[in-house]
Amino acid sequence: MIVEPKVWGFICTTAHPTGCAAHVREQIRAVRQTGGQSARGTKRALIIGASTGYGLAARITAAFGYGAETLGVFFEKPGRGARTASAGWYNAAAFAAEAEAAGLRHWSLNGDAFSDAARARAIEIILHDMGGPVDLVIYSLAAPARRMPDTGTLAQTALKPIGRAFRGRTIDTDRDCLTELVLEPASEQEISDTVVVMGGDDWARWMHALKDAGALAADATTVAFSYLGPEITRPIYRDGTIGRAKAHLEQTAAALRASGVDARIAVLKSIVTQASAAIPLIPLYLSLVFKVMKEQGLHEGALEQQQRLFRDFLYRADGAPATLDEAGRLRLDERELGENVQQACQTLWPGITDDTLMSLTDYAGYKQDFLRLFGFGFAGVDYAAEVETQITIAGCTNV
With contact defined as beta carbons under 8 Å apart, do 205 and 384 qualify? no
Among 313, 340, 318, 317, residue whose Cα is nearest residue 329: 313
Please, how many CA atoms are within 13 Å of residue 389, restricted to the half-sphere of its CB? 22
Question: Residue 306: which residues within 8 A CB-CB, separation 6 or more?
Answer: 54, 57, 58, 60, 61
- H-run or E-run covering 47: strand 44-48
Output b/e per residue, 125-158; b: 16+ Cβ within 10 A.
bbeeebeebbbbbbbbbbbeebeeeeeeeebebb
How many residues are there in the chain?
Answer: 399
For residues 37 and 45, what is the distance between their CA atoms, to the nearest angstrom? 16
| 237 carries an active-site annotation | yes
Report the relative pairing of strands 262-267 and 216-226 from DSSP bridges.
Answer: parallel
Tell how strand 106-110 and strand 69-74 pair up.
parallel
Task: Strand 396-398: give its sheet, edge to edge.
Answer: 330-331, 262-267, 216-226, 134-139, 44-48, 69-74, 106-110, 396-398
Three-class DSSP category at 193 = helix
- C-alpha 114/C-alpha 150 separation (Å) is 11
DSSP state of 253: H
Q: Say if residue 72 is exposed, middle or buried (CB neighbours under 10 Å; 0-12, 13-18, 19+).
A: buried
Distance of alpha carbon 323 from alpha carbon 308, whole angstroms: 13
The active-site residue, picked from 227, 237, 285, 363, is 237
DSSP 377: S
What residues are annotated to the active site? 237
